[in-house]
Each structure stands twice: as C-alpha cells, then as structure tokens.
Structure 1
Amino acid sequence: MTDGVTIGQAAAFAGVTVKTVRHYHRHGLIAEPRRDNSGYRRYGSADLLRLVQARTLAAAGVPLAEIGAILDADPDRFATALADVERRLNERIDDLIARRDMLHRLADDRALLPDRVLAKLDEVAADFGFTPDDVAMAREGLVLLRALLPEGFDDYISRVERGLDDPRYRSLIRRMWRAAEWKPDDPRVDELAAAMADHYLAHPSLLPVPAGLHARTDGAIRYNLLAHHREEQKPAWARLNALVEAHLRSAGFDITKQTPTD
C-alpha cells in the first residue's frame, strides 16, 4: 500500500487547486515531499495539516511572505502572530464598513457635504417647499461649489446663512426658486432680475461668488460652471442669470472679478 496522497488529492482535501499547492512550494510554505517508486510525490498527514494552515492564513489576508514564519513559530509566538492577524482583519472590516456607509451616503451626496450644510438645506427646503428635484439640484450645486472652490466654501455658506436671516433676501431667493417654472419671457423674470441685482449691489457679500474666485486665472470658467449648472433644464433661470449679470455689469460690477466687501 502506498503511503500518502498525490498532489491532486492533497489539493482537493485542502480545498485549493494544484496550482496553489505548487505556488506554496515555490514560496517555501510547504516542503515538497519525496517521490515514491513510481515518481509521484506523496503528501502525508503533516503535509496536509501544513497546507490547510497555509491556506487558512492566506484566505485571512496574511501575505504569503509572512505565512512561513508564522507556521514555524513556537506556540507563544504563533498565538501572538494570530492575534496580530485578527487585529489587521478587524481594521479591514472597519474600513470596509466605512466604505459601505459612504456608498450609502453617496446616494444623496451626503458624503460630499458637511452635516451642517445638509441640515441648513433641509431647513430651507422645508420652508420654501422644495420638490425632490429642487433639493437634488441644490445639493448638486453645493457639491460643485465645494469641488471647484474648496477654500471659499465655508465662507460662502456662512454668508448665505446670514443673508437668509434677512426677510428681503429670503423673499428674493424664494421667488428665484419659483421662477424656475416660469416661462423665459415672463415679465416677472425681468422684475426679479432687477430686484436681485439691486439687492446684490446693496449687499455685495451676498453675491454668489465664493472667496478666492476672483484670484483665479480661470475664475470665469469656474463661475460659469457653478452659475449655469442645469440651466438647460430651467430656461427661465438661464434668462434670469443673464439679466442679473447684465445689470451688475452695467453698474460696473464684474461678478467674477470683484471681491465682496459688505
């Protein structure tokens, strides 16, 4: 009777492939057993145990370069090494959980905006009667703002929050959102544009221009990306923005080059 099993049988018993067994051999994790009289390598119980242990450590994420030393360690060092493997696994689990949670938050851009901003947006949305599409558009605009001008984001949000305490400004913003559903040639668009431009000129800190925009050589490009986001879906807004910018320019105020001072 021939002692031991073939490499194929050993691989099957351990739940790995023959290629994996040979890979372990090349890395010195398992010694290659001697060949029998027929020229076949025969794996005994000790070889199978070592193979199962190596497979288990590899499946746990232990690099192959570390497995040999772990398996050759004395009982105390072996236990310490396993504890270290468990610690690293727990860290990976925590990281994966954090990534999963971020994916869930990304479904509504909540991973891309501070909680403070989201809370304020929820408050304004409820007060102004935003539709789900309105909320999505507002979030998108804030995400773009933070991406394009991160250094001016917090300052801009603070200025808008202060502005919303002013009933006149709040009324203008409320009308601006309602204007999204108007026709572009609605006379109310002209009236609102004039009112908004006058308010911005009287309170330049409320201009939709984050700090740092004017200092950038590509400030106009960044401003256009922010100011005209999704305008093609809201024709009245496209005309409203154009009219507001025209009013400001006629008053000598280039919206992409001036610094709010109020």
Structure 2
Amino acid sequence: MDYSVGQVAAFAGVSVRTLHHYDKAGLLSPGGRSDSGYRLYGDADLARLQQILFYRELGFPLDEIAAVLDEIAAVLDGPRRDALERLRARRRALHEEIARLRHLADVAERAIAIQRTGVPMTAEERSEVFGEITFDLSYATEAQLKWGRSETHGEAMARASGHTKEDWRRLMAEAADWRADLLAAFTAGEPADGERAMDLAEAHRAHLARWFTPCPPEVHRRVADDFAADPRAFALVVPASEQSPGLAVYLRDAVHANAARTDRAPAEKDER
C-alpha cells in the first residue's frame, strides 16, 4: 500500500518539510509517485523512515545515518559489523554525555546551596545583608567546575555554608568598609603597586582567610586574576553601580604587587 507525504508525516510524527528534506538529501526518497507527481511511500520506505528516526533519536547526524543504513543494507557481515560499531561508539558517547550532565546537575545543586548561603533569609533580609552584591549562579557553577577539586575551594564553600546570619552581616559590613577604601585609593590615583593599594590588597587577603579559607599569595593572585577576567567574579566584591573602568585591573595589579612584597619579606628577614 502506498501513502502520501501527509499521511507518512502524521504516522511518524514529523513534518512534511522534514520528509522533503530527507528526500532532497537522498536519505529517504519515496518509492513511487502518483499520476499527479506527488510522493508516494511504500512499506519499505516506512521501514527505512523508522530506522532514520531511531538513529536521529540517538543523536546521529544525517550523513552518519545514511552511512549506517547503507552498511546495514549490505549483504556481507563485515559491513554489518561496521554499523554495529557505530552504534557502540554512539552508546559510549551517550553514556559519557549522561555522566557529564549528571555532574553538571550536581554542581548546579551545590551552586544553589551556595547561593542560599546556608542560612534561610527573606528577600528583605538578603537585601539588607548583601545589598547590591550578587552571586551569579552561572559563575558559581563554572567556579565549582574549575576549582571544585581544590582543597581551598572546598573549605571556603564549607565555611560559607556554615556562616550564621549575623556572620554574614559582619562579613559584608567589613567588605563594604574595605571597598570604600579601595574606591577612594583608585579615585585618588594611588598607584596599584603603592603602599596604600598593596595594604588594601593585603586586607582583602586577610578578609578571605578570616571568613573563608587560608589565602596564600599564589591563591590570592588567581582570585584577583578572576576579578580582572570575569565581571561576574568582580561583582562579588564591587557591585556594578560602584565599578569604574580599570578598577578590576587595578585591584588585580595591587594584589600581584602585594603578593610579590609578601614573597620578598621572608627572604629579606633571612638576610638580616
């Protein structure tokens, strides 16, 4: 029995345009035509369409589906083994993708937990404590992927989730005072490698150590590099409304200068 393109589209749950595309691509050409020139699909065509849709569901691109179907259509067992190997390879890829998505889901769950700061707060309380400081969920997810295996990141997240509401109030008040001093130094044109800017960088390092995790100079450098490279990271310390062009780079340079100063200090002490 022959079926029109509209009937086949309805059977298969695809659009007529898709069937036209398969025909144009040489993937599924109808076995016949009506007297008026309309496409007519036979049982063999429907069986091939079923195979095409199966492989599409597995994520195969059309050119690979054509190759697989050609191999399956061959008589010898060798080509059939080629088709099976393609299926096995796709199965492996799907398992890897499932594992990756599960990992991302786990990371997102942790990021959501971080976003909640481990403390239930109303919207009003959150606004009071954090003000304009925002924690971008996409950044939290990427940071977890990037640093999740590091001991310092794990400790920072654990301590953050353990802070009380009052802890967060004190932490954010301390950060606001530091931020005001940073903006004043930047506006006054203090050099990033000057004493005032380096002292502010050291104060930020001490703040991280006090509230989150020990922050040796090499770790502080990486944190500051993130501030300069990613606006979402810098928004954790300076809200958008208070930022100025060059401020993130200024902080990064101050942190690097202070780290170099900190690295020199033990050597200078030994020389004495």
**1:60 equivalent in structure 2:** 58
Match of 1:95 among 81, 96, 100: 100
Equivalent position of 1:44 in the other structure:
42
Amino acid in the other structure paired with 2:18: T
- In the alignment, the residues of structure 2 paired with residue 103 and residue 213 of structure 1 have an alpha-carbon distance, to the nearest angstrom, of 21
State the match for 2:270 in structure 1. Answer: none
2:138 aligned with 1:133, yes or no? no
* Equivalent of 2:18 in 20, 34, 39: 20
> Structure 1 regions of 5+ residues with no counterpart?
142-155, 165-172, 175-204, 220-224, 233-253
Report the equivalent of 2:32.
Answer: 34
**2: distance between equivalents of 1:133 and 1:119?**
17
TM-aligned CA deviation for residue 69 of structure 1: 0.7
- Give the Cα separation in 2 of the matches to 1:79 and 1:213: 49
Q: Is the 8 A contact 1:125 1:135 kept in 2?
A: no
Query: How many Å separate the matches in 2 of 1:132 and 1:47?
Result: 69
Partner of 2:82: 77
Matches within 5 A, 1:56-205: 56-74=54-72, 75-107=80-112, 108=114, 109=140, 111=144, 113-114=147-148, 116-117=151-152, 118-119=154-155, 122=158, 131=166, 133=168
Alignment partners' CA distance in 2, 1:227 and 1:62: 42
Cα distance in 2 for residues equivalent to 1:14 and 1:135: 62
Counterpart-to-counterpart distance in 2, 1:36 and 1:131: 79
After superposition, give the CA deviation of every residue in 1:148-194 in whole Å (9 maximum; x if it has no partner): xxxxxxxx9xx96xxx8xxxxxxxx59xxxxxxxxxxxxxxxxxxxx
| Root-mean-square deviation (Å) | 4.7
Whether the aligned pair in 2 keeps the contact of 1:11 and 1:17 (CA below 8 Å) is: yes
101-110 or 64-73: which moved more? 101-110
Identify which range, 24-33 or 129-138, moves more after superposition.
129-138
What count of residue pairs does the alignment treat as equivalent? 174
Given that residues 6 and 16 in structure 2 are in contact (C-alpha distance below 8 angstroms), is that contact kept between their aligned partners in structure 1? Answer: yes
Task: Classify the secondary structure of the residue corresponding to 1:47.
Answer: helix
Quickly say closer, same or farther: Cα 1:131–1:46, change in 2 above 3 A. Answer: farther
Contact 1:213/1:257 (CA < 8 Å) preserved in 2? no
Q: Distance in 2 between matches of 1:125 and 1:5?
A: 63
TM-score normalized by structure 1? 0.50
The correspondence of residues 234-249 of structure 1 with structure 2, limited to 5 A, is none
In 2, Cα distance between equivalents of 1:113 and 1:229 = 22
CA distance in 1 between counterparts of 2:104 and 2:43 reads 42
Match for 1:20: what amino acid? T
Larger radius of gyration: 1
User: What is the rounded CA distance, in whole Å, between the counterparts of 1:123 and 1:213 in structure 2?
Assistant: 17
Q: Which moved more, 1:37-46 or 1:61-70?
A: 37-46
